[in-house]
Amino acid sequence: MNPVLEPLFRTVRATHPKADLRLIERAYDVAAYHHRDQKRKSGDPYITHPLAVATILAELGTDDETLCAALLHDTVEDTAYSLDELRADFGENIALLVDGVTKLDKVKFGDAAQAETVRKMVVAMSRDIRVLVIKLADRLHNMRTMRYLPEHKRQQKSRETLEIFAPLAHRLGMNTIKWELEDLAFAMLYPKRYDEIARMVSERAPRRDLFLQEVIEKVSADLREAKIRAAVKGRPKHYYSVYQKMIARDVAFDDIYDLVGIRVLVDTVRDCYAALGTIHARWNPVPGRFKDYIAMPKFNMYQSLHTTVIGPEGKPVELQIRTHAMHHRAEYGVAAHWKYKEEMNTAGPSGTKLKATGDMAWLRQLLDWQKETADPGEFLESLRFDLSVSEVYVFTPRGQVIALPEGATPVDFAYAVHTEVGHRCIGARVNGRLVPLESRLGNGDTVEIFTSKSPDAGPSRDWLKFVKSGRARNKIRQWFSKERRETAIEAGKEAIGRAMRKQGLPLQRLMSGESLLVLARDMRYPDVSSLYAAVGEGHVAAQTVVQKLVQSVGGVEAAEEDIAETAVPTKLRGRPRGGGAGVVVAGDSDVWVRLSRCCTPVPGDEIVGFVTRGHGVSVHRGNCPNIAQLKSDPDRLVEVSWSPSEDSVFLVAIQVEALDRPRLLSDVTRTLSDQHVNILSASVTTSRDRVAISKFTFEMGDPKHLGHVLKAVRNIQGVYDVYRVSGAGA
């Protein structure tokens, strides 16, 4: 046996004892031969990549056909080895898998092309889901070795991973893959946020681990006493999931991180409920936090009991209770089901027939979408949206369960039942009571839809404001694009006109056919009507079109020639006119000089002077964005140089980026005060992804002191970046 394969075979023997090792070794030999002259970006022989992908899949417990396909997955694309040769050497099944993976890799990237890639992925995985499993393992190994790629490639691949591949792994129940993909992509895309969370986690780890140990010991003792065989352990915290919870639950890091997670593994389903009763007997459960995913599994076959209790010291403890089999499925998902085709047609452990349709209903839904949605970009948007949301489960009047995105409405339900039911929906009854169509559905609701018999019945455009499912949104948009194009064109025209009137813009000049046609082409619409229709259907905001039109004709009005004019004169304190600002004008020391507020220059910066009308000379940094405009009047540019004195005071603008938390602003302002700087202005914005961006403008006498100020601010908990910016108000 080839010694290189020993680690792989050791894993295969442990997870899939009946695998044909000779076949796997033959696949390795063929792949190694054909990749023999190729190297990876890291300089390693290329064969290390297929071998690593096969090892990842072996750890998940996949079958020997999948492992062979993983070893051969790049041969057809990157070497002279043809698909027909591969089919002759390894049979139809392995050839189909390799062909599926090759098709996914062949597509060029870019937004629409990326959507097209995902579409091909859906087709490939509908034929054999193992194609996607191989692709996910391939992406995981590429993410692990991403550091050898150029920066723009790393950003692109990481974003794709976070938006498409990690959620797909989640949909297929492959949580081990999902978590690692998320953390690797998060570290690549937002290294400073990742490092800050890692630092905060490591600082609290010792105290938290003691508390965790105490909880585990108490739960284990209770279960032993109740004669329930169980393995109790802490759940690992993944940095990206901590960050996601900060955004989704809108709470501070401490509140999430202090929430201890425990996993209880037992032998049978009956033991799951017995363990739940035992735990609830010791600690009070938190109302509304119990979920039974055993009786009603999640979309990706995930089963578990979830509960949150108030544990020792009054701290909440999250528990997941599941059988060992459920745990295996939760970790590895479909990848562990290497016998999934046989299982679909054979009896399950309790004698019931296992159905693939329920497990993978989501795949069927994706196939439906991709037949319905002509625009690849729209398909990708729907897919991203559908991948990222959690679900609610509601019932039809006949008791059939339908899964919908969280926050879904009766309109989403109607479209989930049938397109025509959605189009003709005029009312709904939830749990026997009439409700508005925009009301949110909750778990366990029974929903009944009323439809119109009128031949002209159709959806309302207002529904787009509240529907949550990609399917409903696509169907409503399709209906409008087919049936109501003329109306949409009129509505779009009106909306653009209204937006212009609101801003007092010259309607006739801006809406001339020529400028609109140029804009339509720039925005990739074939003609002006299509642009109007896009606005009318809500694909593009009227305001966006107006802004682009204004830019195309050179701005609302040319800016005033002087920018410095927002500048605030620095205090002169009776010194010579140039000295208070610490700047002198070449050839004339008695000119009133002031430092421009738009770029806040300090000694050490390259500077330029500009003679203003009636306000002396304004001084700008050499790289100030406004210099280009000032240079259009070169006669008014003058040479200036630094000449700071003891009384000179300079304006500095800094930007602070931090993970949002309570009292963050007061901590930053207190630190700045401790550094003896006089804050003149501050602005704070918090984005949806829980990042607080604060901008401060302050006065300081000695610019060398700035380094100490930045260092002090960077040491504040949650702050991951702080730097000087070129504009005080920018």
Contact 174, 182 (CB under 8 A): no
φ, ψ for residue 264, nearest 5 deg? -115, 120
Nearest-Å Rg of the Cα atoms of the chain is 32
Would you give the DSSP letter of residue 146?
G
C-alpha–C-alpha distance, residues 476 and 461, integer Å? 8
Joined together, the tokens standing for residue 518 give: 């140029």
C-alpha–C-alpha distance, residues 263 and 319, integer Å? 6
Q: Write the DSSP string, 384-437.
A: HHHHH--EEEEE-TT--EEEEETT--HHHHHHHH-HHHHHTEEEEEETTEEE-T
Catalytic residue among 20, 25, 77, 372: 77
Joined together, the tokens standing for residue 314 give: 């009054």
Amino acid at 552: S
Q: Count the helix, strand and coil residues of the chain and give each as a percent rounded to the nearest 5.
A: 50, 15, 30
> If you search the block for the tokens 């035992």, which residue do you land on?
278
Which of 517, 502, 460, 508 shows the shortest CA–CA distance to 484? 460
Helix runs in 128-174, H state only: 130-144, 151-160, 166-171
Is 77 annotated as catalytic?
Answer: yes
Which of 595, 590, 604, 585 shows the shortest CA–CA distance to 564? 595
CA angle 570, 571, 574 (to 5 degrees): 135
Question: What is the three-class DSSP state of 588?
Answer: strand
φ, ψ for residue 489, nearest 5 deg? -60, -45
705-708: long-range contacts, CB 8 A cutoff, minimum separation 24: 705/675, 705/677, 706/602, 706/652, 708/675
Helical packing angle, 269-282 and 191-225, nearest 10°:
90
What element of type H or E holds 329?
Answer: helix 324-332
Contact 15, 38 (CB under 8 A): no
Contact 451, 426 (CB under 8 A): yes
Catalytic residue among 25, 63, 64, 78: 78
Contact 410, 447 (CB under 8 A): yes
Contact 568, 597 (CB under 8 A): yes
Is 78 annotated as catalytic?
Answer: yes
Would you give the DSSP letter of residue 285?
B
Which of 656, 667, 661 shows the shortest CA–CA distance to 716? 667
Name every residue whose Cβ is closer than 8 Å to that of residue 672 and which is 6 or more positions away in sequence.
Answer: 679, 696, 698, 709, 713
Indicate left, alpha or beta for 407 from its phi (over 0: left) and psi (-120 to 50: alpha).
left
Q: How many Cβ atoms sit within 10 Å of the Cβ of residue 392?
A: 21
Which of 178, 528, 539, 544 shows the shortest CA–CA distance to 377? 539
Joined together, the tokens standing for residue 479 give: 């209906």
> If you search the block for the tokens 């879904």, which residue do you land on?
408
C-alpha–C-alpha distance, residues 457 and 355, integer Å? 37
Q: Which residues of 270-303 are buried (b: 16+ CB within 10 A; e: fewer)?
A: ebbbbbbebbeeebeeeeeeeebbbeebbbbbbb
Query: Which residues are identified as catalytic?
Result: 77-78
